[in-house]
Structure 1
Amino acid sequence: MNVLLHPTYFPSIATFVAVAKAENIVMETQDNYQKQTYRNRCYIYAANGKLQLSVPVNFSQKNRQKYSEVTIANNYNWQDNHFKSLESAYRTSPFYEFYIDELQPLFTETFDSILDFNLKCFETICECLQLETNISKTEVFEKNPTNLKDLRNLVNAKKEIILPLEPYTQVFDTKHGYINNLSILDLLFNEGPNTISYLTAQNIF
């Protein structure tokens, strides 16, 4: 299938189910930025349960602003905080040490554009998974695109669609139980090379 997706910050597992099964991926880059979405946030499984990681951005809803024009507020020490949160949450997971060196540059290099940063996060995860993807970007915004499976609704954080995924072992599941559809990082650190097999086995679309 050919899918249309929003680039998001370390996308959800459901998003990567679509990516793993797609023949072609089209990234929406011509839309207006909206708050309360996964464009600048993701969820991981920390010691106290579900934890939100948010990238601070310079954005005001008073005037419409294109996603491609929104910048990261790098005057906050968010990268170091996010990296420490990942380390605390996943250092005891089976595959943390296997992947963290590939991910670390995302938390040390400075990125200006949230869109560019998200695309780099996506590219890095695909490299970790050794997942070859055929990616293109939209040139115009289409409300009702043709010949594409429109999965842009996966970007919504407040009105999230419940997509039941097969449970897998998570670091703190004995304390808080299984938490569904976290960031792909959770699956990667816990399942490692089995991640692709897990993704392709899910039937949620």
Structure 2
Amino acid sequence: MWPFFIFACVDQQSHLILAAAYLPSVSYFALLNNAQNAIIEQFETYPKQTFRNRCEIYTEKGETSLVIPVSKPNGNHTKIKDIQIFNNDNWYVKHWRAIESAYQASPYFLYYKDELKSFFDGSYKMLLEFNLALIRHFCNLFDIKTFIQLSSEYLKSADIDYREVLSPKKPPIIHNFPEYTQVFDAKHGFIPNLSILDLLFNLGPESRDYLSRLGELLTQQA
């Protein structure tokens, strides 16, 4: 069983540092799968237009963003751990409908849909809690053994710091993603590094092997 998140103040130089992302990208989990120890930052000031509250899926229109509406109780000084989810407009219903529409024709959607749909019920109030629950779920699915901790303070930049590297404003960290079949690839071609949902619904149990292959590519690029 994948370890529960604990608070830690450790030597971040020897740890992979990641942001708490919403349904993170394939490369996010490739990094996790490749690391022995990782820290997820919870004391950073919440930045706009990042993967903290958005993910990318493959719909009939191509790459599509799903964005969680949030509330910042302390304005622009709000830490990620204090960001609240704005549930009043039933965003979680809209997100699940978009996911279902995008992936219902994929090979493994029916197999995994019930356990994933249970996250989209509006019960989560805090963004960090929701993101961590999803990250934990996927780590369990892929049998990722990395020891993952939460930061106990804001961490200064380190050698393996990907908090700002994994960004919708920056290119993927892996240069050549191995292609796999996607639902709408006949229309839009292969789109790499989408939310981990895309990998899971299209490759199912082979997803772990794919992440390992990406880990080898990361090592070669280093």
Normalised-by-shorter TM-score class: over 0.9
TM-score by length of 1: 0.92
Structure 2 gap ranges (5+): 1-13
* Matching residue of 1:196: 208
Do structure 1's residue 77 and structure 2's residue 90 form an aligned pair?
A: yes
- Render the CA deviation track for 1:126-180: whole Å, top value 9, x for unaligned: 22223333111111112223xx621112442223445332111111101100111
Which of the residues 150, 172, 188 maps onto 1:176? 188
* Matching residue of 1:152: 163
Structure 1's consecutive aligned runs of 4 or more residues displaced over 4 angstroms after TM superposition are none
The CA deviation at 1:101 is: 1.5
- One-letter code aligned to 1:178: F
The CA deviation at 1:48 is: 1.3
CA distance in 2, matches of 1:15, 1:63: 26
Q: Is the 8 A contact 2:104 2:110 kept in 1?
A: yes
How many equivalent pairs are there? 203
Coordinate RMSD, CA, aligned: 1.8
TM-score by length of 2: 0.85
CA distance in 2, matches of 1:155, 1:21: 16
| Identity over aligned pairs, percent | 38
Which of the residues 43, 47, 53 maps onto 1:40? 53
- One-letter code aligned to 2:212: T
Q: Is the 8 A contact 2:37 2:148 kept in 1?
A: yes
Do structure 1's residue 138 and structure 2's residue 157 form an aligned pair?
A: no
CA distance in 2, matches of 1:51, 1:156: 15
Q: Is the 8 A contact 1:9 1:41 kept in 2?
A: yes
* Matching residue of 1:90: 103
* Matching residue of 1:21: 34
Q: Is the 8 A contact 1:58 1:71 kept in 2?
A: yes
> Residue 78 of structure 2 aligns to a residue in which SS?
coil
* Matching residue of 2:11: none
- Note closer, same or farther for the CA distance 1:93–1:112 as it changes in structure 2 (3 Å cut): same
> Residue 118 of structure 2 aligns to a residue in which SS?
helix
* Matching residue of 1:31: 44
- Note closer, same or farther for the CA distance 1:23–1:176 as it changes in structure 2 (3 Å cut): same
Do structure 1's residue 114 and structure 2's residue 157 form an aligned pair?
A: no
